[in-house]
Amino acid sequence: MASTRYQGKLKKWNVERGFGFIAANDSGQDIFVHITAFPRDGRLPMEGEALSFEVEPDGKGKKNAVRVLRGDAALPANAMSSKPRSRHLSRAPKETSLFSQVIALALVAALGWYGYNRYAQRVVQIEAAAQSVAPSPAPVSLFKPAQQAQPAQPAPVRFNCDGRKYCSQMTSCKEATLFLQNCPGMEMDGNHDGVPCEQQWCTSPFAK
């Protein structure tokens, strides 16, 4: 024989201790209810929500609400089927936490790669500036004193287009001229007269 179900609302609820009281609609009587009487669906009881429940006496003869359902639904025959669903819900926070850790690791790796690229570009610029310095002239031969010494020819300068193309990135007029003559895509000769960076490097008669 099916037990009688009653309707009511959750009047009070103690979250820390996990119990409260249901106010029955028909009598207004407060019925004690424990958290174990609610479905295991991961939802916490809320004061004022409509409930459907059965009543059974405890060991001291007091009435307790059991087999509580939210709303006016009747107790299903397979009430224990909520247990696997609760186990599934309990895994969701772990999956979310793992996803957050993966995102954090990806961000750290991206920042590290960006910093390494910036460092590598700076090293290339420093090496290119050092290589642009002209070598000292070759000494005059001592075996031909009667002949006039010929002006020494500077040794060829190793040059490398390292990606710089603006006057603000140059260190001298000579360096700007080498870049303009040897590298494509330069942005240092606005009037196209073959003289780069007139305002920054190549305007003084002592410019190098």
**Each residue of 62-91: pLDDT tens digit?**
889 999 998 745 444 444 334 444 444 344
**Residue 13 — pLDDT band, cuts 50, 70, 90?**
very high
pLDDT digits (tens, 9 = 90+) for 36-56: 999 988 888 989 999 999 999
Which amino acid would we find at residue 83?
A: K
The closest of 9, 1, 2 to 65, measured between CA atoms, is 9
H or E element in which residue 42 lies: none
User: Does residue 57 form part of some domain?
Assistant: yes
User: Does residue 199 form part of some domain?
Assistant: yes
User: Does residue 142 form part of some domain?
Assistant: no
Q: Is the pLDDT of residue 9 over 80?
A: yes
Most confident range (mean pLDDT) of 9-18, 96-105, 135-144, 167-176 is 9-18
User: Does residue 145 form part of some domain?
Assistant: no
User: Does residue 137 form part of some domain?
Assistant: no
Bridge partner list, 24:
8
Question: Domain range spanning residue 60?
Answer: 6-75
CA gap 71, 66 in Å, rounded: 15
What does the DSSP 8-state code read for residue 14? Answer: E
User: Does residue 174 form part of some domain?
Assistant: yes
pTM: 0.33
Looking at residue 138, its pLDDT comes to: 55
Q: Tell me how many domains the chain contains.
A: 3
